[in-house]
Structure formats: C-alpha cells, structure tokens
Amino acid sequence: MNHWIIAPVVLPAILAPLIAWVMRHDMTLARVFSVAGTVALVVISIGLFAIAASGDVSVYKLGNWDAPFGIVLVLDRLSALMVLLTTSLALMVLIYAIVSEWDSRGRHFHALFQFLLMGVTGAFLTGDAFNLFVFFEVLLIASYGLMIFGGGGMRLRAGLQYVVMNLAGSSLFLVALGTIYAVTGTLNIADLALKVQELPVEDVALIRVAAMLLMIVFAIKAALFPVQFWLPATYANAPAPVAAMFAIMTKVGAYAILRFFTTVFGPEVSATGSMAADWLLPAALITIVIGASGVLGAKRLMSLAAFAVLTSMGTVMVAISMFTPDAAMAALYYIIHSTFAAAALFLVADLVMANRGHDGIRMSPVMARSGLISGLFFVVAIAVAGMPPLAGFLGKLLVLEAAQTNTNMVWIWTVILVSSLVMVVGFARAGSMIFWNIQEADETDEAEAKTATTSALPVAAAMAPIAVLVLLAVFGGPLTEFTQATAEQLFTPVEYISAVLGAE
C-alpha cells in the first residue's frame, strides 16, 4: 500500500490549522509555509502522476479496512491527472495572490486556501460516494470563506447566493446518496458499479431517480443549464485570484459526472442506459449559448471572464455527454486547457483592475503598462475563444472530431462554431474598449488612478498560466496520448472495480 496517495489530502489538512492558529499574526511566515506546502503538493502529485501513468490502479485502504467496508482512496490516471492539475494551478494562483498582496486584504487567506486544496484533492482521490460528499463540503466551506474574502457589500450578497445554492445542492446530494444506499446497500463506487448491474427490475426506477439527482448535483457544481445562474454573479464578484482558483471547482463537477456516469451508471448499464447522455447534451449546448451571449454583453471584465467559464464548461460537457473514449479524451484535454485559460483570464482582469482602478468595459484614461497587459489579454482571449495556434483550438477540434459519429452532430458543430465566433467578437469588443478607447483624465479618474497599484511583479506572476497555455499547445501530442489512455481506462471500469474490490 502506497502511503503517498493520501498525502495530497493530509498535507494541507495539517498545514491549514497550523497556519490559521500558529501563524495568524505573521503574514510572512504564513506565506512561506503556504507556498512551501503547495510546492510539496506539486512534487507529490507529479510522483503520483508517474505512478498512475503506467496504467496501474492503486488503492489506499483507510485504516486497512477492505473495500467495500472501509473507505478507499483510488489513484488511477484520471484522478492523478486532476490532482496534478489542481496543485499546479494552486501554486500559480497562490504566487499571484502573494505578489499582488490580495492575501493581506483580509484574514486567513492561506488557511482557507489550504483547506480548499484538501477538499479538491480529496474529492478527486476518493473511491466512496459519501466520502465524496464530505470532501465536497470541505471544499465548499473553504470556498465560502474565500469567496467573501476582503468583504464588501456586493461580494457578501453574491456570496450569500452562492452559499444558499450550494446548501440546496448538498441536500439533493444527500437525498441521492440515501436513495442509492436504500436500493443497493453500498456507497463504495466500485461495489456500487457491480450492484447496479445486478439490480432487480423493481428497483430500476429508484436507481434512475438517484442517478438523475446525482447528475443535477454535479451539474450545479459544473454550472450547467438550468442550474448555471449562480456562477456569473459569484465569479464576477469573487476576489480575482480566488476566481482563478475556482476555475478548478467547476471541473470537480465535470470529474464527478465523468467518474459516476462511466464507472457506475455507464452507457452499457441497462438500468440507466443513455439517460445521462440524453439530458446532458441539450443542457450543455444551451450552457454554451448562454456563456457566449454573456461574453458579448458583459459590462465588466470579471463578468466577461465568468461567462467565458460557462462556455468552456458547456464545451467540456458536450464532449462528456457523448460517452465515447474519443470524446472523453477531447473532454479531458479541454478540461486541462480551459482550467488554465480561465485562471489566466481572471488574473489578467485583475491586472486591468489594479492598474486602471476598475474593470468596467467602458472608456477610461490610459493605464500603466497598457501595452504589456493588452498583449497578455490578446493571448488569453485567443486561448479562451479557441483560436489557433493555442491549445483551445486543438481542444475544440478534438471535440468536433469526436462529434462526427454522433447523431446530433449538426447541432454540436453549429453551436460550438457559432459560439466561438460570438466569443471572438465579445473579446474584440472588450479589448478595444479597454485598451484603445482612451479618454482624457478627469477628476474622478484621477481618484481611481490613485488606488491603482504600480508593481510589475503581478504581471510576471500572471504570465505563469499563460506560459502553461503555450506549453499545452507545444506538447499537444504527448498530452493527447495521455488523455487517450486515461479515457480508455475510464471506459474499462473492470480495472477500477477489480483493483478496489480485489481480484474477483
């Protein structure tokens, strides 16, 4: 049994209370430990990634209780990939938050950040449905604190909506888990997969209800139509580095759908059949449309970024809803790309806000470092809209290619291509308004300019995710090979099940 599997959960779990308790008066110390812990997490997750890349499914039995009686953590290609994605994003966001001094605008930023990391990595690693719920709550409660970090009436009110939405979601999650347990008598994902296959006919209706409830819960997390409405207000009003870190949180929902609806309620399971695909695809397509219209109509750069996240989640979900290995490969590649792209967009929006005093898409005096920031915005806009030469283009191309054999190909192609065009127009509008429509400074503008910071360090820190976007395109070949292998492993759930339950 490899004890490193639990390290991504235990390390932040120990670090967070230490930071909150011992280092609460010393910002420097908290920063040092937070960064050191996150670097260690990155190293550990690279190690785990190397273990999982061989194709083995490793299982960690908590308390050495055999599944399905004890809780297990499972490390396969998918969970290793998601953990590595989380920790590397976290390191970049953390460094940005420190150099832009966002972390000193309130209290306990680093403790909350580490708790968030614990919840996200735990959710990716766990092999137990109820444990997944617990990790969801851990990451949510940390995200509530981060969401309202720094305070302000607008932020608190948006935070309240976000919390209420997620409380309702958690209740639904518990109802789904209760139903699943009542029908099958287990909550271990691998055991559940076996039980659902052998389900007596009279219980089929119940398990279908439970599966649909689960999908709604994960759709809330992934911000899918019709439960997407919390996302734009939340992300647009959250502190920008936090919004950048939240880019991984929507992917938790995508991951959970991918995990449950391939391993447990896969397309070949007679009880649920193609139910998931039938509902996911239209929901995902409408999400793309809403996101693209939002990008076109946004009045603030942060709202624009939030709606861009919606579009990218819609695209990911379209790919997932096809439930074929090729489409899952495209979805995974696009998940990696869109996480970094969304994070980069929020960080650039924060640079604009810091140098200009506000992030409104309207006329304003020229800001400091306008040329450099506009260049960064241009690169990120290309990435988010999915234009060549960056990875977003490749990701969308893979999704479109996977859709060729789908019966709804016409719809998928039309929506994705038209929405890309709308996004390009939206970004061009925002970019030209912000960087080209310069007006003479008057008194209110001078007041805004005074609040603007002039440090160059945040600009450098924001370049990290942008550099990753370039690397994703350069190493597109090896990366797609890995996501291909991940997708194939995902669609042979026998490996996962036999690894967890022992050879049967």
Partner 1 sequence: MEMLVASAIGVLTATGVYLILRLRAFPVILGTAMLSYAVNVFLFAAGRLTVNAPPILQKGVLEYTDPLPQALVLTAIVISFGMTAVVVMIALGAFLETGDDAIDIAEEGE
Of 39, 154, 205, 456, the residue at the interface with partner 1 (CB under 8 A) is 154
End-to-end CA distance of the chain: 19
Q: Are 107 and 134 in contact (CB under 8 A)?
A: no
Confirm or reject binding of residue 10 to partner 1 (CB under 8 A): no
For the chain, the residue count is 504
Confirm or reject binding of residue 365 to partner 1 (CB under 8 A): no
Angstrom distance (rounded) from CA 60 to CA 262: 21
Of 14, 22, 39, 164, the residue at the interface with partner 1 (CB under 8 A) is 164
Which two tokens mark 33? 């430990």
3-state helix, strand, coil in the chain (%, to 5): 80, 5, 20
Confirm or reject binding of residue 141 to partner 1 (CB under 8 A): yes
Cα 441–Cα 445–Cα 446 angle in degrees, nearest 5: 85
Confirm or reject binding of residue 300 to partner 1 (CB under 8 A): yes
Q: Which is nearer to partner 1, 185 or 389 (CB)?
A: 185
Of 106, 178, 273, 365, the residue at the interface with partner 1 (CB under 8 A) is 178
CB of 229 to partner 1, least distance (A): 11
Of 39, 182, 205, 456, the residue at the interface with partner 1 (CB under 8 A) is 182
Confirm or reject binding of residue 363 to partner 1 (CB under 8 A): no
Angstrom distance (rounded) from CA 68 to CA 467: 43
Q: Count of CB atoms within 10 A of residue 379's CB?
A: 18
| Half-sphere exposure for 214 (CA within 13 Å, toward CB) | 30
Q: Which is nearer to partner 1, 47 or 360 (CB)?
A: 360
Q: Are 77 and 489 in contact (CB under 8 A)?
A: yes
Of 10, 14, 39, 168, the residue at the interface with partner 1 (CB under 8 A) is 168
CB of 377 to partner 1, least distance (A): 18
Q: Which is nearer to partner 1, 184 or 486 (CB)?
A: 184
For partner 1, the binding residues in 231-260 under the rule CB under 8 A are 233, 236
Considering only the stretches 74-82, 260-268, 285-293, 298-306, report the one whose residues sit in contact with partner 1 under the rule CB under 8 A: 298-306
Angstrom distance (rounded) from CA 94 to CA 451: 23
CB of 152 to partner 1, least distance (A): 7
Of 63, 153, 200, 477, the residue at the interface with partner 1 (CB under 8 A) is 153
Of 32, 134, 366, 452, the residue at the interface with partner 1 (CB under 8 A) is 134
| Burial track 217-234 (b if 16+ CB lie within 10 A, e otherwise) | bbbbbbbbbebbebbbbb
Q: Which is nearer to partner 1, 84 or 301 (CB)?
A: 301
Considering only the stretches 241-249, 355-363, 367-375, 458-466, report the one whose residues sit in contact with partner 1 under the rule CB under 8 A: 355-363
Confirm or reject binding of residue 163 to partner 1 (CB under 8 A): yes
Q: Are 452 and 356 in contact (CB under 8 A)?
A: yes
Q: In terms of DSSP H, where are the helices of 126-239?
A: 129-147, 153-184, 189-197, 204-222, 230-237
Q: Are 307 and 291 in contact (CB under 8 A)?
A: yes
Residue 364 DSSP one-character state? B
CB of 307 to partner 1, least distance (A): 13
Closest to 479 measured CA to CA, from 318, 332, 324: 332
Q: 10: Cβ–Cβ under 8 A, 6 or more apart, which residues?
A: none
Confirm or reject binding of residue 360 to partner 1 (CB under 8 A): yes
Angstrom distance (rounded) from CA 35 to CA 31: 6
Considering only the stretches 31-39, 274-282, 295-303, 480-488, report the one whose residues sit in contact with partner 1 under the rule CB under 8 A: 295-303
Q: 43: Cβ–Cβ under 8 A, 6 or more apart, which residues?
A: none
Of 8, 159, 241, 294, the residue at the interface with partner 1 (CB under 8 A) is 159
Q: Which is nearer to partner 1, 125 or 176 (CB)?
A: 176
Q: Which is nearer to partner 1, 4 or 229 (CB)?
A: 229
Q: Which is nearer to partner 1, 46 or 199 (CB)?
A: 199
Confirm or reject binding of residue 282 to partner 1 (CB under 8 A): no
Considering only the stretches 174-182, 287-295, 309-317, 432-440, report the one whose residues sit in contact with partner 1 under the rule CB under 8 A: 174-182
Per the DSSP assignment, residues forming a β-bridge with 140 are: none
Q: At what angle do helices 476-490 and 493-501 cross, to 10 degrees?
A: 60
Confirm or reject binding of residue 293 to partner 1 (CB under 8 A): no
Q: Count of CB atoms within 10 A of residue 502's CB?
A: 10
Confirm or reject binding of residue 105 to partner 1 (CB under 8 A): no
CB of 282 to partner 1, least distance (A): 25
CB of 182 to partner 1, least distance (A): 4
By CB under 8 A, how many residues form the interface with partner 1? 39
Angstrom distance (rounded) from CA 426 to CA 78: 33
Binding positions for partner 1, rule: CB under 8 A: 130, 134, 137, 140-141, 144-145, 148, 151-154, 156-161, 163-164, 167-168, 170-171, 174-175, 177-179, 181-182, 233, 236, 299-300, 303, 358, 360, 362
